[in-house]
Amino acid sequence: MSPLAPSPGPLAVTLLLLPGSSMLTVASVVDPMRACNRIGRTARIDWRATSADGAPVELTCGLPLAVQGGFRGDEAGDLLVVVAGFDALRHADRRLLARLRRAAPRFAAVAGIESGAWVLGAAGLLDGRRATTHWEDLEEFATRHPGTEVVADRYVIDGRVMTAGGASPAFDLGLQLIRGRFGAGVALDVASVFVYDEAHAATDAQPLVSLGRLGAREPRVAAAIRLIEASLDTPLASAAIARRVGVSVRTLEGLFRRALGVGPAAYGVQLRLQAARKMVTDTDLPLGEVALRTGFASASSFAHSFRRHTGGAAGDLRRAARTAR
């Protein structure tokens, strides 16, 4: 039976946590389950946290997270959740992937959270499925998994396979799981424990920029940012953005400077360089390809802007990132 189907019985969940995961992402997976049990004053959800070898998992903040045992591959239950972050495929070696492939059919559903989607993909569990991962990795993920329909949704449920793009989408997925299993009232109570207003649908796109209150306070700036996000590889001129938003270039400049302290053109360069830095450190794309994907006309203009923005050369940053892995 699907873990999303209504049932009074307890939900059996196994967590596979990989080093390099974010504490916030792990909490977004675990705490909705904890709160669900607290509200019901009963063990509605029974979860067990594992790691590849049973040792504590070092999170991105440097803190070790204790687990309840090693992931053997003979586990079974309602839901298997793989949580991963940086260097997921380095931590998920062939032996772990083999165990994951053995265990997956023994669960009613499997989920990959953030870079956990990369692990599911490497295990062959996303072939012919729709899936998502963190927005920074979507393009590379799609290239690596041509047999998967990769979408920019916050989270995706495709049959018995679920994927979520990060901490906040994982929390939303957890609420959806609780809603389906135990009812809308329980999910609302869990959201209320964390003072969380669930305003996002699964199919909402993952934004490059989390606008927060800016969207309500200055919707014209928010709309302009979304246009900038959508055209990183072919940057729009300020005049084109202003025309689409429905204001003059001068008005757009003033709105951006009051809201963000910089004009739209400078803000667009910041976003492009932010995306470029991620590609430099986390992919093996040639630097010329990084320049093209982030809208720079030439490798030299990219190199100049990157050095000015980061204080160093892109090649040096890539070598340092590889050494630190």
Within a domain: 199: no
Within a domain: 4: no
Q: What is the distance between the alpha carbons of residues 80 and 73, in angstroms, rounded to a whole number?
A: 11
How many domains are there within the chain?
Answer: 2
Residues 184 and 253 in one domain: no
Residues 186 and 279 in one domain: no
Mean pLDDT, rounded, for 10-20: 96
DSSP H or E segment with residue 14: strand 11-17
Residues 55 and 138 in one domain: yes
What's the token pair of residue 307?
């050095």
Which residues have CB under 8 Å from 160's CB, separation 6+?
A: 2, 107, 108, 109, 110
What's the token pair of residue 174?
């957890």
CA dihedral 121, 125, 126, 130 (to 10 degrees): -140
Read off the DSSP letter of residue 74: -
Within a domain: 239: yes
Residues 236 and 153 in one domain: no
Q: What is the distance between the alpha carbons of residues 242 and 264, in angstroms, rounded to a whole number?
A: 10
The predicted structure's pLDDT at residue 66: 97
Q: Which of 119-133, 206-220, 226-240 has the lowest mean pLDDT?
A: 206-220
Q: Which of 124-128, 131-135, 137-141 has the lowest mean pLDDT?
A: 137-141
Read off the DSSP letter of residue 45: E
* 276 pLDDT tier (thresholds 50, 70, 90): confident
Distances (CA, A) of 285 to 169, 203, 295: 27, 29, 15
Within a domain: 158: yes
Residues 186 and 218 in one domain: no
Look up the domain containing 316 and give its range: 214-324
Inter-residue contact 113 to 81 (CB < 8 Å): yes
Mean pLDDT, rounded, for 82-107: 96
Q: Which of 47-51, 194-198, 276-280, 284-288 has the lowest mean pLDDT?
A: 194-198
DSSP 3-state of 232:
coil
DSSP 3-state of 33:
helix
Q: Is the pTM of this model over 0.85?
A: no
Within a domain: 244: yes
How far from each other are the two terminal CA atoms of the chain, in whole angstroms? 40
Q: What are phi and psi of 90, to 5 degrees?
A: -75, -35
Inter-residue contact 93 to 125 (CB < 8 Å): no
Residue that is last in its domain, among 193, 223, 238: 193
Residue percentage of the chain with pLDDT more than 90 = 56
* 277 pLDDT tier (thresholds 50, 70, 90): confident
Residues 31 and 61 in one domain: yes
Residue that is last in its domain, among 130, 162, 193: 193
Q: Has residue 156 got a pLDDT over 80?
A: yes
Within a domain: 203: no
The predicted structure's pLDDT at residue 11: 94
Residues 173 and 313 in one domain: no
The predicted structure's pLDDT at residue 201: 66
CATH of the domain at 305: 1.10.10.60
Cα within 13 Å of Cα(86), Cβ side? 16
Mean pLDDT, rounded, for 98-117: 97
Q: Has residue 216 got a pLDDT over 80?
A: no
Q: What is the DSSP string of 108-161?
A: EEEEEEETHHHHHHHTT-STTSEE---GGGHHHHHHH-TTSEE--BSEEEETTE
Beta bridge partners of residue 79, listed in sequence order: 13, 109
Within a domain: 204: no
The mean pLDDT value of the chain amounts to 90
Which residues have CB under 8 Å from 223's CB, separation 6+?
A: 244, 245
Residues 18 and 74 in one domain: yes
Q: What is the DSSP string of 241-275?
A: HHHHHTS-HHHHHHHHHHHHSS-HHHHHHHHHHHH
Residues 97 and 173 in one domain: yes
pLDDT tens digits, residue range 293-319? 889 888 888 898 888 888 889 988 888
Within a domain: 2: no
Inter-residue contact 154 to 172 (CB < 8 Å): yes
* 262 pLDDT tier (thresholds 50, 70, 90): confident
Residue with tokens 């959800």: 45
The predicted structure's pLDDT at residue 198: 67
Q: Has residue 205 got a pLDDT over 70?
A: no
Residue that is last in its domain, among 130, 164, 193: 193
Residues 189 and 263 in one domain: no
Residues 122 and 245 in one domain: no
DSSP 3-state of 317:
helix
Residues 132 and 53 in one domain: yes
Residue percentage of the chain with pLDDT more than 70 = 94
Inter-residue contact 69 to 54 (CB < 8 Å): yes
CATH of the domain at 96: 3.40.50.880
Which residues have CB under 8 Å from 182's CB, separation 6+?
A: 6, 36, 40, 44
pLDDT greater at residue 37 or residue 261: 37
